[in-house]
Structure 1
Amino acid sequence: MAAGPSRPGLRGRETELKRLRALVEAVRDGEGGAIGLLLGEPGIGKTALLQEAVSLARAHGFVVSHGHAEELHELAPLASLASGLLHGDPPLLSTTDFADLAGHHDQRIWLVERLAQLIEERSADTPVLIAVDDVQWADPLSRFALSVLPARLLSSPVLWLLTGREDPELYGQGPATTTLPLRPLSGTALAELARDVLGGDVPARVEELLDGAGGNPFLAAEILSGVAATGAVGTEPPERLVLGVRGRLADLRPDTLHFLRIGSVLGRAFSLADAAALSGRPASGLSAEVDEAIAAALLHDDGERLLFRHDLVRQAVYADLAPSVRRALHREAASRLVAAGRSSADAVPHLLKSAEPGDLEAIGLLGTASEDVSTVLPDLAADLAVRALELVPPRAPLAYEVGERAIVALTRAGRYTRARATGDALLARQPPLDVFARLQCVLGDTLWHLDDVHELTRRTTTALAAVTDPAIRARLTARQALARSRGSDLDAARETGERALAEAELAGDREARVLALWGLGEIALNAGDCAAALAHHTALSVFDPAFLTEEAVALIHMDDFDAVRRLLRTAGDVPPRPAMLSWTQGTLNMGLGRLDDADADLVTAERLEADLQVPGNLVNIRVNRGLLALLRGDREAAREHLDVIRATVADRPNTGNHAAHRFLEAVVADADGDHPAAAEHVRSAQRDHPFLRWRLLRPHVVQAVHIALRGGDRKLAEDLAAQAAAHATRNPTVPTARGTAAHASALVHADPALLERAVDILLGGPRPLALAAASADLGRALLASGDATAATPALTRAHDLYTRAGADAEADRVRTAPERTTGRPGRRTGRLRPRTEQGWDALTASERKVARLIAAGHTNRSAAEALVVSPHTVNTHLASIFRKLAVRSRVHLARIVLAEDDAGSADDD
């Protein structure tokens, strides 16, 4: 490390330097990843400390990415991170790597995953430091990456050092974060700083002047520089010495002062070409101004751009501009940047500071910028679209076109209430009929997400009476079909969907066709016509790959699990909806009885939704996780999932979640022995539609029948069995539909022969848990009839299936069935190993496979390829492994794996 801290910004920072040194050394020594946050006001010394840490890391062999966020770059995707990733010595990423990232910047989750893979691979050989200065100015995509990447790289030797004026609010699981709030310097530290600059004793008047710096080292250094340069201690007012900028500005030539003011408008860092364009002079004619500004220690040249020596210097120059002059310069900067062929991302930050109502160019550029960032930064896109609408004069016809874009952008960003209010405000202006229809059409998506299908039906019906455009008519009809898919008359809904598809094909409108196929698939699946649902969703998936998961879900309902696996493998490295893909994989693994893998997939889906801040499937995810927990016998975990569901439903009511929520309430109440309450919850699940209408609940109809019978409601049990029978009739080629129908009927009628038929049917299906449940009930029925010999094979099969699935609670119930039925000890078919929460024995089989691959040197990506899962799922497994083993790095994990394998524990995979 360099000699003791004697430079401005480091005096009085010995404690902070010690903690930064400890972070660097811990990451270097294999303790896992870490985050350091340096927080404080401008000039407090954050940058100086960061530079010192960067130097220390380089001395310890780190590969360093040292970036800087800038205020006017908030629309340039990944600019803040890229400023360091590409310019190290050596650079952390190659230009080829970054070009690959840039080509997929519209897929946020994929981009972050790919960036994580690149950093992980680079850190395999040497530790990595990623430093970002002034993170409060980071562009939204860089902020998103910084919120996700530290947790994703938890086990890798990567140190993240961020400076900011306030906490950047990183969220998600990650390594321990060290926060270093920088306080004002003490009087002792300021005195040491004064001796560094002035030498010898510090005059009392200088000490008084330093009091005016408020402990800010930059301001103190400026005061001392002024004293050192002029020797004036008693005559210079503190205001003139504080910052040390205005006195320098007063001595500059007018042309240089004008040049600096233009530069302050362009940002802390700016190109000479941009400043020349804004000043209306050739760049070659500004050399004198540049030289004078550099000589006055106001600017420095990094070879590519001119930079104000500190942002406080730029702010001081900028503050001297009258507000009207600032606005005019920002507006002119936007126009000149556009004229020079620059992107909307360069011009729009200036427009946000300068545009006034009626500025048509600004409205157009804001709209273009909104569309440019809509897929990767939906929140920013919504802000830009709303700002464009605010600039449109209230009665201008342009308001409808701009307003339509704002509704779409707000809906994509999940701001459904604001989108609806924006649309209704435009409709209140009584637009022409064709505009009225278009607005109602785009509001259809908003109302769908708000789960207001009654209003959606009413509005589409009204708009269809006014529409003349064939494409808009087709879209409205398709929206109407989607709304009716939630209603009771599914035959009428199907007719509407078929009409919408015909209209879409006649109009040649892609959006209408997608909506119509989607609606028809939803209608068929809700009606229980799984073959028709598969046909529609397959056509939709071919037409738009974003709907591949809908096709996969339809295949799951058809019991064609092999086709599902083949289809999911075609998703490739850049799936358009990664959270939905993980949900679908989890649904498949639940069907296959792979409970640990299913839970990991569901955790992954929830994490990805949280990363994107669109938790639309949270209730269904937690319902499935709660059901899994109960199969394992973990009632506490099931109740925790139920608490999350209750809070989510209270915060965001959605009738589509009612049945799934109530069913989990029923299962928990049943497990607690409150059978009447459990039966009432099942009745509640049918409040709007029959139980089998809810696709998520179909695999659980037998469990619902059990709950009804235990709750003394035979009529409810008969109704459920009748629904299962009708579903089997509609799906004669689906073994699970036929087998569960037979199972449900057998329970209602206490018919062992029908239970045997259910078992025979389910033996030909792909769902081991359904077969285990039927086998268990058959075994119990045979025991009750006194035929223990015939019961044993059925109970053994059920026990083995439950054990392989990890359904420990159900396996234990089957194992003790003979004792509960006859009063005699049952045949011990195996010994269950209690599931612990910590240590190697707590790891699932999949987690052990991941642990061994990572310990052997695999990256998350190569481990995912070896296991034929996504890197997201490997990351979920790895986070669980680290938590259970209480480790933070791959080095520590490798030691544990080696010790376990040496002890002979490699026999459980």
Structure 2
Amino acid sequence: MAGPHGSLTRSGLRGREAEIEELQALIASVARTGSGGLALIQGEPGIGKTTLLVEAVSRARAAGFSVGLGKADELHHIVPFSSLAACVLHGDQPLLSGDAFGDLTRNHDQRIWLVERLAEAIEATAGSAPVLIGLDDVQWADPLSLFALKQLPTRLRTSPVLWLLTGRREPAAPAEDVVAAATGNLPTVTMTLGPLSGVAIDQLAGDTLGAVVDGRVRDLLDGAGGNPFLAVEMLAGLRTAEASDEPMPPRLVVGVRARLKSLQPGTLRFLRMGAVLGRSFSFHDAAALCGQPTAASVAALDEAVRAGLLDDDGDHLVFRHDLLRQAVYADIPPSARKALHREAAHHLVAAGHRPIDAVPHILRGARPGDEEAVALLQRAADDVVPVTPGLAADLMTRALELVPAGRPLRFTVGEQTILCLTRAGRNREALSAGDRLLASRPPLEVFSRLQATLGGTLWNMDLAGELRRRAEAGLAMGGAAPEIAARLAALRALALSRDHDLAAAREAGETALRAATTIGDREAHVLALFGLGEIAQNAGENAVALERFAALSAVDSAFLPEEIVAHLHVDDFAAGERLLSQATDDARAMRQAMMLWAQGQHDLGLGRLDDADADFVTMERLEDEVQVPVHQVNGRVIRSRIALLRGDREAAREHLAAARVGLAVKPNPGNTAAVRFLEAVHAEADGDVGLAVDKVRQVQQEGFFMRWRLLRDWVDSAIRMALRGAEHELAQDLAAQAEAHAARNPAVPTATGIAAQALGLVKNDLAMLERSVELLKASPRPLVRAAAYADLGQALLAAGRKHQAVASLTHARDTFAESGAHAAAARVQRALEGAGAGSRRAAASRRPVQGWGALTASEKKVARLIAEGHTNRSAADLLVVSPHTVNTHLTSVFRKLSVNSRVQLANLVMALPDG
């Protein structure tokens, strides 16, 4: 006869031949092509998902794959990274050592950084052998592991990495989200395991019993409904019943109970304590919950293993199947379960486990008023908020529910809840929670503290007026602690940065900064400097803004992107590039999406349209991943303008549509003005000058500070629209704003040059346009210079100075073309042709859409480096860009070259004439 559980590999595969063949084909494809793949095996509990996964892993190992295999656990589903940890720490060649993993989780600051580092580790391993990463029971994966699973398959699609997931079919199952994120980027397979056929069940019974299946057994197996695990358990129960002359109950829970009846009482208690701890648990933890010395539980463990209920892998004990654990757990009275979960939480904390390890038990066993449970939830939320802010928000929401109204602790917990909800982007929930706490009439000091805590929430919601009102209310009430009063004063100044009276805002900010410095409160200091930086930017005082943001980033390096952008506004691109290089060297740079925004502004300013577009694509992707859409609208506005400069009207319209969608979600004054101006640009391109002028006028009326933030470098375009629409008063207003901006920034060549250009356009003053070109020779912005040369060339043609006009227009055309602004170059070329000089040099033609010639200069660099065997990280280090940007370039390279793997790319590059 077969062993007590039958031949698990063979019997579990009865009736699954088609699925095995499909998985084998995917394994072979990944190994052959060198590109990624993903398979999801779905089905009800016990249907054979794990057995199929184990078989696929065995075949992949035989094919030379390095394997990492893990299993998610129902009671550990909130512990960050617990699900994927087993996948990267165990296997033939662990993707990360234990020390490296510990460093990874200790030093994280963002989910994006954590996932990127893991991607680099997997990519490096896949460079020498294909990799299989398998995760069983993905429906219980923790939020951080799910976040990684949604990013990693696509991020690693160009490496031979095969992802195998198993999960139950449930509404809104997380596994389906993982597949959806990968679909279209790499081969994906979803197989749903149905009930086994009668023939397969008979074969399985024969495997298990080692005998021909008779009618009695076949009748019994009908109750399994084609589920192989239930069938095997019934057969095991049948043998037990035969040995004891008892009838075999048909249902699993009752059947397991029947099997447990023969166990010693100590073994039964040990199993129940294990079921409370989870599918996988520590022998010492279970023994401690039993209230017995470790040695006294050894016999219980031996008996449970012999009975086929537990497996012992040397580190942990594991119920042989989730259904077994659930059956044992279901046999514990509900009231006892709660008490046992509370005991488990207390034991885990006392034994030195992390707070988050005890949280699942707290969530199942805590009662209102349990302050120890609340404290544990607070500690766990603090631990996980950097990488799973949504989980931290959930934990604190639960903690707040456990604190009865009227207890002072409720306000402390409420404050942390607001902060976590805001960090998770759940601003409306944060505001609602804060308002409920404020409505309970807290003491004056608590009232002020809560208003200060809500400051970040209100700022994120673009409610500057409400932020001001609440900050002033908190200050007016009195009773605030000095540091809270300083924060409220800084928040008030920040809110005033969106007001028309920026002089009053500046005074408020300076006062707040002095108070923060005197008191020594870091948060108030950061808020005051940030507010002063915003005020200076909105006032068009770029040098002052740089001073403030440089001081701010010195206090908090998370604000380095603001300092970089401020350097660009004073034409100091060298300093901006130096800071960007420093940020690139630090793989853990915070606010990576914002850093890409700064990189995009840098590349755009230098006329690197292709690189700028890639930067903003990457920025939007990262913001989507963390679901914090800060610059989505403005990114799309700029990408639309880039597309128009290139001559890609279809892409430009797509970006405009996306910007409008983003504006509907986040309709703040800045986004509104940016979209209105983009609509003006599109209207002009469509020949509707009247609509274009109307949109420009809307921008001017949207908000005074928008004059500096939006039209700083685009005012010449707006003036041309106004002049074409015979709106001279509007054109004069725009020129006056450019002149005022130059007066605020006399040391910035771009500002002074654009002011001269604006005045020259409005007054049709050739001498002023010539002065503009001279001033802009010192500007590092080639597109700004090209526009000024084009305006001068047109004016020289009108003045009959053809030779000088041709020289100026030629310079403009060539500068536009070198930046990839082919549509702009073509417009200048037409002017040259009109002057009879078109044959001297043709404007650069647009790139094809497919093939090597379709690649941008940066894409070609990335393609060659990857073809040479570089990883994304090493290529990024050589190019001094983010690995995220390399990934964006590589995605475009694969699409344009119609290749699916690094191997194919290398072959193509090697075949190039200059390769």
TM range (shorter): over 0.9
Q: Alpha-carbon deviation of 1:118? A: 1.5
Matched residues in 1 for 2:89 and 2:633: separation? 42
Deviation for aligned residue 1:273:
0.8
Q: Deviations over 1:325-350 (max 9, x none)?
A: 11110011111111222220111110
Pick aligned residue for 2:805 from 788, 791, 800? 791
The SS at the match of 1:65 is strand
CA distance in 1: counterparts of 2:800 and 2:722, whole angstroms: 26
Distance 1:576 1:424 in 2: 31
Counterpart mapping for 1:531-550 below 5 A: 531-550=543-562
In the TM superposition, residue 427 of structure 1 has moved relative to its aligned partner by 0.7
Match runs of 1:731-742 below 5 Å = 731-742=745-756
Deviation, structure 1 residue 570: 1.7
User: How does the TM-score come out when normalised to structure 2?
Assistant: 0.96
8 Å contact kept, 1:241–1:247: no
- Cα displacement string for residues 563-621 of structure 1 (whole angstroms, at most 9, x for unaligned residues): 10111112222111111111100000000000001011111111111121111210011
Distance apart, 1:187 and its partner CA: 2.2
**Residue 197 of structure 1: aligned partner:** 208
Paired letter, 1:105: H
Query: Tell me, what secondary structure is at the counterpart of 2:454?
Result: helix
* Contact 2:832 2:838 (C-alpha < 8 Å) held by counterparts: yes
Query: Residue type matched to 2:899 in 1?
Result: V
* 2:89 aligns with one of 62, 86, 91: 86
Per the alignment, residue 349 of structure 1 pairs with 360
Residue 640 of structure 1, CA deviation = 0.7
- Indicate how the Cα distance of structure 1 residues 243 and 312 shifts in structure 2: closer, same or farther if over 3 A, else same: farther
SS in 2 for 1:765: coil
The answer (yes or no) to whether the contact 1:670–1:707 under 8 Å persists in 2 is yes
* 1:872 pairs with 2:884: yes
- How many residues get paired? 899
* Deviation of 1:90 (Å): 3.0
1:41 partner SS: coil
User: Please, what TM-score do these two structures have when normalized by structure 1?
Assistant: 0.96
Runs of at least 5 residues in structure 1 that lack an aligned partner in the other structure:
none
Residue 613 of structure 2 corresponds to residue 610 of structure 1: no
1:294 aligned residue (301, 305, 308): 305
Q: Which stretch of structure 1 is more off in the superposition, 158-167 or 307-316?
A: 158-167
User: In structure 1, what residue type is equivalent to 2:60?
Assistant: A
2:317 alignment partner, one of 291, 294, 306: 306
Alignment equivalent of 2:189, drawn from 178, 186, 200: 178
- Tell me the equivalent position of 2:420: 409
- What SS does the aligned partner of 2:135 have? strand
Aligned to 2:831: 817
**Structure 1 stretch 243-252 or stretch 178-187: which is displaced more?**
243-252
Change (3 A) 1:240 1:660: closer
Q: Select which of 763, 766, 784 maps to 1:749.
A: 763
C-alpha distance in 2 between matches for 1:786 and 1:243: 101
SS in 2 for 1:212: helix
Deviations for 1:262-314, whole angstroms, at most 9, x for unmatched residues?
A: 11000011111101111111111011211111111111111111111101000
Deviation at 1:63, TM superposition (A): 0.8
Shift of 1:228: 4.0
1:777 to 785, 791, 796: 791
Does the 8 A contact of 2:773 with 2:785 survive in 1?
yes
Q: What is the DSSP-based 3-state SS (H/G/I as helix, E as strand, rest coil) of the residue aligned with 1:816?
A: helix
Match for residue 664 of structure 1 among 678, 684, 687: 678
When structure 1 is superposed on structure 2, of 222-231 and 637-646 the one drifting more is: 222-231
Unaligned 5+ segments in structure 2 are: 1-6
Shift in alpha-carbon separation, 1:77–1:290, aligned structure 2, 3 A: same
Match of 1:721 in 2: 735
Distance apart, 1:238 and its partner CA: 4.7
More off after superposition, 85-94 vs 299-308: 85-94
CA shift in 2, pair 1:44/1:122, >3 Å: same
1:454 counterpart SS class: helix
1:193-272 map, 5 Å:
193-231=204-242, 236=247, 238-240=249-251, 244-272=255-283
Equivalent of residue 131 in structure 1, options 109, 113, 134: 134
The AA in structure 2 aligned to 1:187 is G
Does the 8 Å CA contact 1:692/1:723 hold for their aligned counterparts? no
The 10-residue stretch of structure 1 (177-186 or 166-175) with the greater mean CA deviation from structure 2: 166-175
- Is the contact between residue 220 and residue 250 of structure 2 (CA under 8 Å) also seen in structure 1? no
Determine the C-alpha separation between the residues in 2 that align with 1:384 and 1:649. 32
Contact 1:197 1:228 in 2 (8 A): no
Query: How far 1:831 sits from its partner (Å)?
Result: 4.5
Determine the structure 1 residue equivalent to 2:50.
Answer: 47
Aligned to 1:376: 387
Q: Distance in 2 between matches of 1:104 and 1:181?
A: 39
Counterpart of 1:428 (choices 439, 447, 452) is 439
2:188 and 2:612 mapped to 1: Cα distance?
A: 31
2:14 matched to 1:11?
yes
Paired AA for residue 306 in structure 1: L
The percentage of counterpart residues that share the same residue type is: 58
Q: Deviations over 1:650-680 (max 9, x none)?
A: 2333233111111111111111111111111
Q: Distance in 2 between matches of 1:200 and 1:459?
A: 79
1:834 aligns with 2:846: yes
| SS in structure 1 at match of 2:318 | strand
Task: Give the match's secondary structure for 2:33.
Answer: coil
Asked whether the equivalents of residues 221 and 234 of structure 2 are also in contact (C-alpha less than 8 Å), the reply is yes
Match of 1:850 in 2: 862
For 1:368 and 1:408, locate their aligned partners in 2 and report how far apart those are by CA, in whole Å.
14
Alignment of 1:518 onto 2:530: yes
What is the aligned-residue RMSD (CA, Å)? Answer: 1.9
Name 2:505's counterpart in structure 1. 493
Deviates more, 1:604-613 or 1:558-567: 604-613
Once residues 355 and 99 of structure 2 are traced to their aligned partners in structure 1, the CA distance between those partners, rounded to angstroms, is 25
Q: Which residue of 2 aligns with 1:892?
A: 904
8 Å CA contact 2:310–2:320 kept in 1: the answer is yes
Separation in 1 of the partners of 2:303 and 2:694? 83
SS at match of 1:827: coil
Query: How many Å apart are 1:828 and its aligned residue?
Result: 4.2
The 5 Å alignment of 1:119-158 reads 119-158=122-161
Point out the more displaced range, 350-359 or 177-186.
177-186
Q: Give the CA deviation at 1:765.
A: 0.9
Report the 3-state secondary structure (helix = DSSP H, G, I; strand = E; otherwise coil) of the residue aligned with 1:159.
strand
8 Å Cα contact 1:622-1:642 kept in structure 2: yes
CA distance in 1, matches of 2:304, 2:367: 33
Q: Residue 112 of structure 1 corresponds to which residue in structure 2?
A: 115
Q: How far apart in 2 are the matches of 1:582 and 1:115?
A: 20
Q: Is the 1:76–1:345 contact (alpha carbons within 8 Å) kept by the matching residues of 2?
A: yes
Deviation at 1:176, TM superposition (A): 2.4
Residues 385, 409 of structure 1: 8 Å contact kept: yes
Q: Which amino acid aligns with 1:14?
A: E
Higher deviation after alignment, 715-724 or 197-206: 197-206
- The corresponding residue for 1:630 is 644
2:233 and 2:300 map into 1 onto residues whose CA distance is: 22
User: What per-residue deviation string (whole Å, max 9, x for no partner) do you get for residues 752-787 of structure 1?
Assistant: 221111111111110000000011111122223332
Identify which range, 354-363 or 774-783, moves more after superposition. 774-783
Are the equivalent residues in 2 in contact too, given 1:140–1:377 (CA < 8 A)? yes
The CA deviation at 1:164 is 1.3
Partner SS state of residue 698, structure 1: coil
Q: 1:815-865 CA distances to partner (integer Å, 9 max, x unpaired)?
A: 11134x55x573342253332222222111110111011101111111112
Residue 687 of structure 1, CA deviation: 2.5
C-alpha contact 1:815 1:828 (8 A) present in aligned 2: no
Distance 1:887 1:82 in 2: 32
User: Hey, what's the Cα distance between the residues in 2 that align with 1:475 and 1:415?
Assistant: 22
- What is the rounded CA distance, in whole Å, between the counterparts of 2:109 and 2:838 in structure 1? 60
Alpha-carbon distance in 1 for matches of 2:776, 2:477: 53
Query: What is the alpha-carbon distance in structure 1 between the residues aligned to residue 355 and residue 9 of structure 2?
Result: 44
Secondary structure at 1:556's aligned position in 2?
A: helix
Compute the displacement of 1:418 (Å).
Answer: 0.5
Cα contact 1:436–1:463 (8 A) shared by 2: yes
CA contact (8 A) 1:21 1:56 kept: yes
Match of 1:862 among 861, 874, 882: 874
- Structure 1 stretch displaced more, 607-616 or 504-513: 607-616
